[in-house]
Structure 1
């Protein structure tokens, strides 16, 4: 069998090149490639030669590629869904603890013990809903369980998530929100999920509830979120993603002491290809063996 020919574009990368060589493949120019590993965005995406049978995207979200009309039905497409889940889950837990333990408010004030002390809460005995419980949810669940929380997983199919106490299908999201102390959003950005957190759904939560978003900014109606936060409908919000990104310097959420915004660093760019490399190697092995690939894209679903 001839050597697997893989192009890495739009720039070379040592981690991905090592993964390709690990499975006996070779890095070649795009014109000679069977597989394209694309580590850029949709801007500048090249015209693909007919030799390319599979395109491996380095991002989990594919909305911008879909909107740009990049995906076609001539070849196989995969994304990086699940590849970065462990790091994102770690960041989600940090954000949730930062809120419930009042670390966020403490960092924005000066020894405000009278205000901070009564608001400190524990995850022990709480219920945390993970909405969009795919790869991130599977990694986050044991971390939450280790903190003593009950995990309520919400996914599209309702198939049980390993380790979760309860799993429900997405058509029962309202029920899950009403039963939860806190919520972590890990869902894709699709027409069905945009502004899924709005005035009505935020009101299903509790005055002490924190909402954490490590998925996509448009999942939350930020005007509704601001209203809920200032009216005391919920306890706080911890966001690694916003809509748009970055938010304006005078965005009103910045002024609230029960909000933390991190600049989309749950999956830091500097470690992206290093995190992706072992999954690429596994997918290349599967490709050569004729096995089902990880993270095959379903374009009409948007993920």
Structure 2
């Protein structure tokens, strides 16, 4: 890294130790992200580029860059880039092949979302278990009328994806006395769930058939795209609830609508949809047993703070080991 200075704006000629690109997330000012990194690296220069022109200028000499996205014109301008720290957990939107060809290491925000998305999933499950949506509807109508509810204890929860988010969901379900099934690419590695199975085959179908709450917390890949289709909904118990905090296309939307209309499942909590944003005229808006949140499970006031911890640690590793540094959350290209 270049010798540290006190400069934190775009006026100096010295390349910054960390360049922060201008796009923020979840409605939180990106200035907060830059400030969190500066707090952890007081002896380094951390600069925030606030315009496209500033980004193109600053990135020419920057070695360590962080941001939500990486435009093609920035990659063309980046002459000395060594590390791009993506501020999202997913990296499918990045030009990974071109970054690899340039020898640029890529990291992501894996683990940053674990606590808040775990809480979101738990809240969604409890909402359907105790049928709070029914109570809310009756409250709006000022109806004092008892209704039947469910009990979470003794239920079976299947979690598709045992990464940081899936593990956080498992941790939060542990006190509730549920049976858990984990689904992952390499089931032989085990996991925090009572049972671990792979994708597809009879084992997956059997898990669907005995699942009360199906939680999707996996990345979108060729394997998971359309994983929950019409056959899956027919296989699921009619009392099952779908909770999707993964990506919209993991579920076939038309099949989901058919399943809801046919009472093949009890309900669905959707933080992601396909298409997204969900059009105003889409039928999913009209089901009383569907909870829709606008890709909001990832929001937490601690997002930038947790992400800055990863950035600061990786800056120190690059300082110590240079191009040979083993980075936290490094994406295998």
Could you state the TM-score of these two structures normalised by the residue count of structure 2? 0.79
- Give the Cα–Cα distance (whole angstroms) in 2 for the partners of residues 181 and 128 of structure 1: 6
- Give the Cα–Cα distance (whole angstroms) in 2 for the partners of residues 288 and 169 of structure 1: 40
Distance 1:207 1:77, change over 3 A: same
Tell me by how many angstroms 1:225 deviates: 0.6
> Alpha-carbon deviations, 1:79-123, whole Å to 9, x = none?
212221111111111111112221233334546787x823x2121
Tell me by how many angstroms 1:40 deviates: 4.0
Distance 1:41 1:123, change over 3 A: farther
Aligned to 1:73: 101
Stretches of structure 2 that go unaligned for 5 or more consecutive residues are 5-16, 24-29, 48-57
Aligned to 1:60: 89
1:8 to 15, 20, 27: 20
**Given that residues 144 and 150 in structure 1 are in contact (C-alpha distance below 8 angstroms), is that contact kept between their aligned partners in structure 2?**
no
Aligned to 1:233: 264
Aligned to 2:331: 297
> Alpha-carbon deviations, 1:259-295, whole Å to 9, x = none?
0101111112865423422222233333334452232
Aligned to 1:27: 46
Aligned to 2:231: 200
Distance 1:192 1:71, change over 3 A: farther
1:222 to 217, 240, 253: 253
Larger radius of gyration: 2
Tell me by how many angstroms 1:221 deviates: 0.7
Greater relative contact order: 1 or 2 (C-alpha under 8 angstroms, separation 6 or more)? 1
Stretches of structure 1 that go unaligned for 5 or more consecutive residues are none
Distance 1:73 1:222, change over 3 A: same
- What is the SS of the residue equivalent to 1:32? coil
Tell me by how many angstroms 1:154 deviates: 1.1
Distance 1:44 1:80, change over 3 A: farther
Could you state the TM-score of these two structures normalised by the residue count of structure 1? 0.86
**Given that residues 10 and 40 in structure 1 are in contact (C-alpha distance below 8 angstroms), is that contact kept between their aligned partners in structure 2?**
no
> Alpha-carbon deviations, 1:44-97, whole Å to 9, x = none?
755342311110111112222259x76443211112122211111111111111
The number of equivalent residue pairs is 295
Aligned to 2:206: 175
